[in-house]
Amino acid sequence: MRAFIVIFALLLSGCVTTNSYVPPAKDQKAIAKITNTWLRNGLADWEGYNIETIDEKYVSYLIKGKDGRTFRIAPGIRKLTVQGVYNRSFGGSCPCEAYAELSFTAKAGREYVLKGKVRGIYVDFWVIDKNTKKIVSKKASGEKRRQPQNNYVPIYIPT
């Protein structure tokens, strides 16, 4: 049991020293929120727009998925690194992903949504106000790249 406690404490101390995003206090009136977007149009037709960093600090998804995840953020200018992931059909050259950086000014008590659109070999990203649906950031674009797939490594077993 002591070994478990020591290992758990070491893991927690490692989390504290990393470049991880720490959300602001929970006072709902003093913070803003931003949410990822996920759309599924069919079994092999989907797209998601996710926040990877907030103010150059990596967000943690732990065991929760990225789909529709909401983050508390402080008011003011927020800098985001965002990821778009998408697939359009079976047997294509995807799933693919793209990354970009964008900034916007968050206001206390407001809720925002990260949006995106696949445009050829580029993915455009922007942030909207959830209530007014108005765009509150400049659009940023990232070039698509194919996501790494599981690799097959043949193993020779002599007989």
Look at residue 9 in the predicted model and tell me its pLDDT.
Answer: 57
Dihedral (CA of 14, 19, 20, 24) sign: positive
Burial of 99 (0-12, 13-18, 19+ CB in 10 A): middle
Look at residue 65 in the predicted model and tell me its pLDDT.
Answer: 76
Burial of 32 (0-12, 13-18, 19+ CB in 10 A): buried
Look at residue 152 in the predicted model and tell me its pLDDT.
Answer: 44
Model pTM?
0.78
pLDDT in tens, the chain (159 residues): 665 555 655 555 554 556 899 988 777 788 999 999 998 888 888 899 999 999 999 998 877 778 889 999 999 999 999 999 998 776 666 788 999 999 999 999 999 999 999 998 899 999 999 999 999 999 999 998 876 555 444 454 555
Can you tell me the distance from the alpha carbon of 98 to that of 48, in angstroms, rounded to the nearest whole number? 11
Look at residue 41 in the predicted model and tell me its pLDDT.
Answer: 82
